[in-house]
Structure 1
Amino acid sequence: MEILQEDNGKKGKFYILENKVQQAEMTYTWVGTSHFIIDHTEVSEVLKGKSAGKQMVLKAVEFAREKGVKIIPLCPFAKSVFEKMSEIRDVM
């Protein structure tokens, strides 16, 4: 499962394509240059049960670590992943 990313400096998203069709996305908004807010996660029925949402959160964590920034998980799904996985809270 390949997770792609788009970022225009103000907003962005992590997403998954299956057969050239977007089947999952997690959107975020930058707060200055040191934080971004994960505000929405959506996964289609095609990817339900395949940990697509969790994988997008982990990709966001990887991105945050690379950039040296923090994540504010306002999306209930993303927040639940952070609550369950103490090893990713360093970017929260």
Structure 2
Amino acid sequence: MEGATITREDGPSGGRWVLVRDGIEAEMTYSKLGTTTIIVDHTGVPDAFRGQGAGLALAERMIADMRAEGLRVIALCPFVKAQARKHPEWADVVE
């Protein structure tokens, strides 16, 4: 998503990826399940970003981060589940 930045906030039990453009935020939240798996539970995209690829940008960043860290993802979030079906190349990360 052009003009946006994505950062990650990681805490002891979970965190989120945050996409910001023009002061507006979209987010993807997760919980940690042990030391090898996260559970992505929510993707929140404000109406101002709908149809502009904000959710996909967050998902792609999440996949890249989890690959780099060698972690697995359980997708409870309906959006991430749907994207994982469209992106079979994510199968190495998303259960």
Task: Give the TM-score taking structure 2 as reference length.
Answer: 0.90
Partner of 2:43: 41
Count of matched residue positions in the alignment of Structure 1 and Structure 2? 91
Q: Out of 13, 16, 38, which is 1:13 matched to?
A: 16
Aligned-pair identity (%): 34
Query: What is the alpha-carbon distance in structure 1 between the residues aligned to residue 92 and residue 5 of structure 2?
Result: 24
SS in 2 for 1:55: helix
Q: How far did 1:55 drift?
A: 1.0
Query: What is the alpha-carbon distance in structure 2 between the residues aligned to residue 85 and residue 69 of structure 1?
Result: 18
Q: How far did 1:5 drift?
A: 0.8
Q: Out of 57, 73, 76, which is 2:75 matched to?
A: 73
Query: What is the alpha-carbon distance in structure 2 between the residues aligned to residue 5 and residue 32 of structure 1?
Result: 19
Residue 26 (structure 1) aligned with residue 28 (structure 2): yes
Partner of 2:92: 90
Query: What is the alpha-carbon distance in structure 2 between the residues aligned to residue 39 and residue 64 of structure 1?
Result: 15
Task: Give the TM-score taking structure 1 as reference length.
Answer: 0.93
Q: How far did 1:90 drift?
A: 0.7
